[in-house]
Structures are given as structure tokens and as C-alpha cells.
């Protein structure tokens, strides 16, 4: 039975609670089913899916970064054909209460609608999340999200490929993240995910080389919390679509920060990797916080930050 205190409707999807697993955390579900109760969560965002298989970045791929985690996975995945045949059927059979969003990546604009076309009719998918932090190989490696024209084309072509909701995930490194969100919404996005990892570098001082095999990587974890909350607050003032807050969430009050700043959902990554019990704990803590503060529905917290500039 759905707990109405925690239930949230976002982009036409009913989530039993606002806590999701962020892309890259849940793989395609089966890999973590033995350690995380997926059905206790609001939903999962799958690992990235590209048209062709990707081997990913060289090792080391993940390191501790003090205030967080640094990773350069390189969007490794088996490709859309394999995910359609082997991974999504497992999700459709084994996950019913948690909603499923498929994370989509590409090298060129056309890859995004192509992946969606290949998956749009597959059972058990509730929507798509577009990772627009990928480099556009046709534009010299400029990230799709940093190029207004490319961002518009990615979202509009993806919108034309599906009737399912589209979430667009933006990088905190964008010079105008609110402006990028506006472009995505105008092109057809139903929701915005904030934020992706923050580009960073850790040096192995003994080797005088980067600690990660790829060199730079994406910073996640506790250090990203205030960055993501600020981005959420900024974008909330610029667009009226729902926001998924991501970055540094490890407690119920972390989730409340994002909700007050303007998010309707939150997603966890690094904390879930460190402690697979953390997402279920955050759901409980969020419910307890709401009851202690006489909040009758968690959706009522969205955008209640009392601050203007």
C-alpha cells in the first residue's frame, strides 16, 4: 500500500516515495537486488545506455577523494541491444513498485533518439533520463549541455521519439545552468535532473600522475551537496517543471534541503555505494522528519525555501 505522506507525482509518474537511486548506482537492477531492496524506493535510474557497447575508461576508475568520491567509468555499458534483451526484461519481471528511468548517452545528437526508439516499447520503463554531459564528437568534444543548439536538438529529437517522460540531467560546471534548463524545457523536457558530477582531478604525488586511469573524473559525494542544492534553487526559479535533486545526499535532512530548494524527487549515488542500506534509511528519516514537523505530504516541502535575492 502506498504511503500517501511520501507519494509524489512527477511528470505523470506516480512515485511511492521521492528517493531514487541515481544512474550508475543501480546498474540495471539485478546487480544490486541482493543488497538493496529496490521495491522500498521511489525508483531507480539505470546505468547509461548507448547505441554501441562501450568498454569504458582504463583503471583505476574509482578512488576516494576525501570529501567524496572521484570516478571515471567512461559510461561503460553493453549497448542498447544487449540491455534490451538481457537487462530490462529482468527489471520488468522483478521490479513493480519502484519506477524505472533509463539513462541515455550518445556521441552524436542522433544517438539519443536512436537509443530511445530501440527501448520505447519495452515493458517496465517509465521514462528516460538524458545525460547531456557527454562530449559531442561532431562538435569537437563540446558537451551537449554546454552547446545551446546541440542541447535543443538532443532534447527535441528525443521528445519526438517517445511519449514517455524525458528528464534532462545537467552538469554543475555549466556557466548558466538555469539557462540550459530553460532550453531543455522549451525543447520538450518534462523534468530536470540536478546535478551530474563535478569535473575534478586527484594527483598521485608519488607517481606525479593522475590517480585515475583516465586522468580527470567526476566528483560526487558529500562535497557535492551544497553545489547541487544551489543549482536546484537556481533552476527552480527559472523553470516550472519538476526537478530531481542529486549530489551528496546521505540523510533525510539532506533530502529535505533539496526539496525545500525546489526538488520534487531526490536521487542517491555515492552514499548508496558506501552503504547499501542508506537509501532505505533516508526514506525512513524523511518520513520521520515530516511527521515531526507536521508535514502532511512530502510534496508540500518542494520550493518552500524562505529566501529571495
pLDDT tens across the length of the chain (309 residues): 568 999 999 999 999 999 999 998 889 999 999 899 999 999 999 999 999 999 999 999 999 998 899 999 999 999 999 999 999 999 999 999 999 999 999 999 999 999 999 999 999 999 999 999 999 888 888 999 999 999 999 999 999 999 999 999 999 999 999 999 999 999 999 999 999 999 999 999 999 999 999 999 999 999 999 999 999 999 999 999 999 999 999 999 999 999 999 999 999 999 999 999 999 999 999 999 999 999 999 999 999 999 977
N-to-C CA span, the chain: 42
Q: Which helix (H) or strand (E) holds 142?
A: strand 142-143
Collapsing DSSP to helix, strand or coil, 51 comes out as coil
Instruction: Write down the pLDDT at residue 26.
Output: 85
- Return the axis-axis angle of helices 177-186 and 225-238, rounded to nearest 10°: 50
Domains of the chain plus CATH, in order, are 8-56+75-199+222-301 (3.20.20.70)
SS3 content of the chain, % helix, strand, coil (to 5): 35, 20, 45
164-183 tens-digit pLDDT = 999 999 999 999 999 999 99
Collapsing DSSP to helix, strand or coil, 45 comes out as strand
Task: Give the DSSP letter of residue 49.
Answer: B
> Cell digits for 270?
555515492
Q: How far is CA 215 from CA 60, 212, 224, in A?
A: 9, 5, 20
Give the predicted TM-score (pTM) of the model: 0.97
109-119 in b/e form (b: 16+ CB < 10 A) is bebbbbbbebb
Q: Is 290 a catalytic residue?
A: no
Active-site residue identified among 26, 83, 91, 134: 134
29-49 in b/e form (b: 16+ CB < 10 A) is bbebbeebebeebbbbbbbbb
80-109 tens-digit pLDDT = 999 999 999 999 999 999 999 999 999 999
Amino acid at each position: 500500500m502506498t504511503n500517501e505522506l511520501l507519494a509524489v507525482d512527477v511528470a505523470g509518474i506516480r512515485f511511492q516515495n521521492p528517493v531514487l537511486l541515481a544512474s550508475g548506482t543501480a546498474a540495471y537492477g539485478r546487480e544490486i537486488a541482493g543488497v538493496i531492496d529496490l521495491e522500498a524506493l521511489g525508483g531507480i535510474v539505470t546505468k547509461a545506455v548507448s547505441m554501441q557497447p562501450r568498454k569504458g575508461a582504463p583503471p583505476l576508475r574509482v578512488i576516494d577523494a576525501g570529501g567524496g568520491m572521484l570516478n571515471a567509468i567512461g559510461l561503460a555499458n553493453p549497448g542498447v541491444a544487449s540491455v534490451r534483451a538481457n537487462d530490462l526484461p529482468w527489471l520488468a519481471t522483478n521490479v513493480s513498485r519502484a519506477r524505472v528511468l533509463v539513462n541515455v548517452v550518445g556521441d552524436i545528437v542522433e544517438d539519443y533518439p536512436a537509443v530511445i526508439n530501440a527501448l520505447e516499447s519495452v515493458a517496465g520503463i517509465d521514462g528516460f533520463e538524458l545525460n547531456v554531459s557527454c562530449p559531442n564528437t561532431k562538435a569537437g568534444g563540446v558537451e551537449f549541455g554546454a552547446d545551446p543548439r546541440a542541447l535543443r536538438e538532443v532534447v527535441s529529437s528525443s521528445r519526438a521519439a517517445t511519449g514517455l517522460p524525458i528528464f534532462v540531467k545537467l552538469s554543475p560546471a555549466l556557466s548558466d545552468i538555469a539557462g540550459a534548463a530553460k532550453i531543455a524545457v522549451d525543447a520538450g523536457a518534462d523534468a530536470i535532473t540536478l546535478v551530474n558530477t563535478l569535473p575534478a582531478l586527484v594527483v598521485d604525488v608519488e607517481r606525479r600522475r593522475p590517480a585515475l586511469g583516465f586522468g580527470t573524473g567526476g566528483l560526487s559525494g558529500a562535497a557535492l551537496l551544497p553545489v547541487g542544492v544551489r543549482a536546484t534553487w537556481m533552476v527552480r526559479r527559472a523553470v516550472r517543471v519538476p526537478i530531481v535533486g542529486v549530489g551528496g545526499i546521505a540523510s533525510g535532512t539532506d533530502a529535505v534541503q533539496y526539496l525545500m530548494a525546489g526538488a520534487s524527487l531526490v536521487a542517491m549515488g555515492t552514499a548508496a555505494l558506501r552503504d547499501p542500506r542508506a537509501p532505505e534509511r533516508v526514506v525512513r528519516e524523511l518520513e520521520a522528519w515530516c511527521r515531526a514537523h507536521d508535514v502532511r505530504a512530502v510534496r508540500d516541502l518542494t520550493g518552500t525555501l524562505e529566501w529571495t535575492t
